[in-house]
Amino acid sequence: MKLLVTGGAGFIGSALIRHWIGQTGNQVVCVDKLTYAGNLDSLESVAGSSRYVFERADVADAAVMSRIMVRHAPDVVVHLAAESHVDRSIEGPGVFIQTNVVGTAALLEAARSYWEALPTQRRKRFRFLHVSTDEVYGDLGPSEPPFTELRAYQPSSPYSASKAASDHLVRAWHRTYGLPVLVSNCSNNYGPFQFPEKLIPLMILNALQGRPLPMYGDGRQSRDWLFVDDHARALIAIVSGGIPGATYNVGGRSERSNRSVIAQVCDLLEELAPAKPRGVQRYEDLLQTVADRPGHDRRYAMDSGKLERDLGWFPKESFESGLRTTVAWYVANRRWWQRVVDGSYRAPELARVAS
């Protein structure tokens, strides 16, 4: 089985590719536009493999994506390329519409053209997995049960609305054209190699640099946390055994408030990085409350029962074990995150060498 992963230099995409190369004997094609969120440093451990190929491309360019598919002949397309940060979508929604909606439509057309030209047996084997988010479902009340795949969509932000639109497009291409699609909706991911605009790496890196730890509002917004390697295993399970047209929720069964997550990060840093920046007595002293963002959902929680029952997937990491692994990785891998902080990870020569 050969994978083509869009957004493969991003956080989840790179985890999937590292897992695919490390745990199987199969090939993978990484496609990435290399926006700010694409980091080829995250693929350094597999870049020398004969089973890995990198293509720098924009998924919104259907002609280019068609050529890439014909050139590499994948059995599975895993579509992860997306703008994904809610705050950025509030500041500038246009790029989210372009990448997440227009880009998905263009990629679907490229995939349909490629799939329709395949021999019969390869057409039967082909899959298109669209990776989405729990945020399309809106937010939950304090006592409501977790989201299931039957939950009605109620997106709150430009980001989640653009992902909801892309989900609908994918399902329409299945219903109208018969394209063998799968959809997954995941909860908040965390782990090594995550870009430091997201909550957990932002808290870790700010603390290590003696900078404030900004917390929105009262910090009681609740999220279900999913370790990224568990998510990678879930995606492989879905493309291997999922039923075309089906949707699978992927969660970590680890619901926590933002406030408690920040407190756990600080506690782990006290243990794993006791030599603090100058002037810092305790990491938790850096906590700083900031104004809540517009339309901020209060609670997400995911019911992964369908994925567990039908495909036998379960998360291997508890939140405590996954968070310890994550904090320890950032403490031990300063070169990776310092190159992100200073911008050198986007050096043009790196992109040229990789492509």
d(CA 333, CA 325): 12
Query: Looking at 134, 230, 297, 303, which residue is catalytic?
Result: 134
The mean of the pLDDT values for the chain is 95
What is the span of the domain harbouring residue 47? 3-195+226-254+296-317+343-354
Segment 233-245 shows an average pLDDT of 98
Query: Looking at 135, 255, 297, 308, which residue is catalytic?
Result: 135
Segment 250-274 shows an average pLDDT of 97
The answer to whether position 168 is within a domain reads yes
Q: What share of the chain is helix, strand, coil (3-state, %, to 5)?
A: 50, 15, 35
In this prediction, residue 191 has a pLDDT band, given cuts at 50, 70 and 90, of very high
- The region, left, alpha or beta by phi > 0 then psi within -120 to 50, assigned to residue 108 is alpha
Query: Catalytic site residue 135?
Result: yes
Percent of the chain with pLDDT over 70: 97
- Residue 242's φ and ψ, nearest 5 degrees, are -70, 155
The answer to whether position 128 is within a domain reads yes
Query: Looking at 52, 114, 137, 159, which residue is catalytic?
Result: 159
In this prediction, residue 348 has a pLDDT band, given cuts at 50, 70 and 90, of low
The answer to whether position 169 is within a domain reads yes
Contact 242, 214 (CB under 8 A): no
The sign one gets for the Cα dihedral 173, 178, 182, 185 is positive
Computed on alpha carbons and rounded to an integer, the radius of gyration of the chain in Å comes to: 20
The answer to whether position 266 is within a domain reads no
Say whether pLDDT at 120 is over 60. yes
CATH of the domain at 65: 3.40.50.720
Length of the chain: 355
Lowest mean pLDDT across 45-54, 279-288, 323-332, 339-348: 339-348
Query: Catalytic site residue 134?
Result: yes
The answer to whether position 68 is within a domain reads yes
* pLDDT at site 349: 44
Say whether pLDDT at 328 is over 50. yes
Query: Catalytic site residue 139?
Result: no
The encoded tokens of residue 318 equal: 């508890």
The answer to whether position 129 is within a domain reads yes
The answer to whether position 114 is within a domain reads yes
Nearest alpha-carbon partner for 149 in 170, 164, 134 = 134
In this prediction, residue 354 has a pLDDT band, given cuts at 50, 70 and 90, of very low
Number of independent structural domains in the chain? 1
